[in-house]
Amino acid sequence: MRLPRLPLFVQTLGLIIVSLVVAQALSVVVILSLPPPPPLIYTVAEVVKAVQADGNTQADPRHLLMTKVAPRPPVGLTTGSRRAHFREALSHALGVPPSSIVVAQLGTKFVVFGVRKPQILQREVQREMLLDAPEPLLMGSFEIGIRRADGKWLVVAPRSTFGIDVWQMRLFIVLALSCLAVAPLSWLFSRRIAAPIAALAAGAERLGRDPGAPPLPLRGSAEVSSAAAAFNEMQARLRKYIDERTGMLGAIAHDLRTPLTRVRFRVEGIPEPLRTKLIDDIDQMEAMVASTLSFIHDTSQPHDRRKLEVSSLVETVMDEASLTGANAAVESAERVVIDGDPLALKRLFVNLVDNALKFGTTARARVTTEGDLAVIEVEDDGPGVPESEIERIFEPFHRVEASRSRATGGIGLGLSVVRAVARGHGGDVVLSNRPAGGLSARVTLPLAAAKA
């Protein structure tokens, strides 16, 4: 079932609300499912047990006292009849003088009570818990110090004084459970929001290479769906614009054949040497028209994409060039598979090899991989190209007169076809002069996607 295309604002607001509801629900569940911590009540016997153990002791699962050794007695409020009463009882139980015991109050929640003060017991805890208590009881935030023989003090205190209280631990548990519960939900919402935006960015990058790429799917939030619909409409208009201009150029090139043929017949009566020069110009114009029509035909045809081994295709082109007596060879070739149009890619490699053989005496090819790209390099040992002309020679009908003259060069569409084919396959082609002399053409094409 497809989810509705809600606005991005609504989705984000929904994520925040759901996260808060889940966190609060978990807090309520944890608080209600666990029993509340009872008031921590300590007897003289528990304090004595902690002192005698000189470490942790737990008389009851709810009551935990801890000890530590300190060079000085506890600091706090130590005066008062209630503290003195507890100190005397503890002195009697331990068999040490009262002057060696310090009962220090650390906070406001501090109560010493016993059977002689029933009114206090009624306010703090249930009457039946303490009416028969045989000794004074202590609760709240306190530290009890007992002087040892070595002059140091053994300090006894509730666990909450040294570390984390029970309720604080529960809060940490609630926080951890809330994070674990909300994290998957946040990830799903974030992915639902971000995935269509990433697809839109990928589609824009793909459009720059191939205007005939398939349209984007309309999914995601309302804003992203509207942007994808506008993008698809823009792509359709751009494709229509390119098709109209390409069709117009093809019609012009096709219509030029008839007047050129009439001109050829009419110059037959012109005396030499003017007739020969005019016929040479007409031949060049007809060659340009034929190349233009071939270029338009190739670029307007639908691509027949399939998985192919690009190294085998390069070796085939080199072998065909070698059969004509040319010095063409493949130096190294890794077996790499790409998705592409075999006919268009073959024309790409044929144009590069033909250029290498026209303007140099040899053509060398290498096929390697770099990351997720197949790299095909074709080198020659010719004169190279001026740095200022490296990019301009990809323009249609542009020739570098210094080395690519009309006597040895072509019409000027070969490298335009090479770049158009490479970019139509999601790759590119760049030229560079070799330090040892000659030109190097580097073609990069995406590797075929692995099957899941």
CATH number, domain with residue 440: 3.30.565.10
Residue 381 in any domain: the answer is yes
Residues 6+ apart with CB under 8 A from 340: 305, 306, 308, 310, 425, 445
Q: Which two tokens stand for residue 423?
A: 């970019």
CA dihedral 304, 305, 307, 312 (to 10 degrees): 60
Residue 249 in any domain: the answer is no
- How confident is the model at residue 286, as a pLDDT? 77
Per DSSP, helices labelled H in 210-304 are: 222-266, 274-300
Residue 179 in any domain: the answer is no
Residues 6+ apart with CB under 8 A from 25: none
- How confident is the model at residue 62, as a pLDDT? 46
**Which of 127, 148, 164 is where one domain is finished?**
164
Q: Which domain holds residue 364?
A: 304-446
Residue with tokens 């692995």: 450
By the 8 A CB rule, do 125 and 138 touch? no
**Which of 133, 164, 195 is where one domain is finished?**
164
Residue 126 in any domain: the answer is yes
Residue 84 in any domain: the answer is yes
By the 8 A CB rule, do 136 and 44 touch? yes
Residue 54 in any domain: the answer is yes
Residue 439 in any domain: the answer is yes
**Which of 140, 164, 188 is where one domain is finished?**
164
- How confident is the model at residue 129, as a pLDDT? 40
By the 8 A CB rule, do 54 and 154 touch? yes
Pairing label, strands 137-147, 57-60: unpaired
Angle at 431 between CA 430 and CA 435, to 5 degrees: 135
Residue with tokens 């219509």: 255
Give me the DSSP letters along 66-88: EEEEESS---SB--SHHHHHHHH
Residue 19 in any domain: the answer is no
Phi, psi of 108 (to 5 degrees): -85, -25
Phi, psi of 243 (to 5 degrees): -65, -40
CA gap 239, 138 in Å, rounded? 86
| Mean pLDDT split into 10-residue runs, the chain, 452 residues | 62 77 76 65 81 58 71 80 80 86 74 48 38 61 86 82 58 76 77 77 73 74 78 83 74 77 80 81 77 66 76 91 88 87 87 87 90 91 84 74 49 76 85 88 85 46
Number of domains in the chain: 2
> Model's pTM, two decimal places?
0.49
What's the full length of the chain, in residues? 452
- How confident is the model at residue 118, as a pLDDT? 40
- How confident is the model at residue 4, as a pLDDT? 57
| Pick from 413, 441, 445: nearest CA to 428 | 445
Q: Which two tokens stand for residue 205?
A: 């990058």
Angle at 195 between CA 194 and CA 199, to 5 degrees: 120
Longest dimension (CA), the chain: 144
Residues 6+ apart with CB under 8 A from 230: none
By the 8 A CB rule, do 143 and 156 touch? yes
- Give long-range contacts, CB 8 A cutoff, 24+ apart: 297-304: 297/250, 298/344, 298/347, 298/417, 299/246, 299/420, 300/243, 300/246, 300/247, 300/250, 303/212, 303/341, 303/344, 303/424, 304/341, 304/342, 304/343
Question: How many C-beta neighbours within 10 Å does residue 433 have?
Answer: 15
Strand order in the sheet with 428-433: 327-333, 362-370, 373-379, 439-446, 428-433
Angle at 264 between CA 262 and CA 268, to 5 degrees: 115
CA gap 97, 79 in Å, rounded? 17
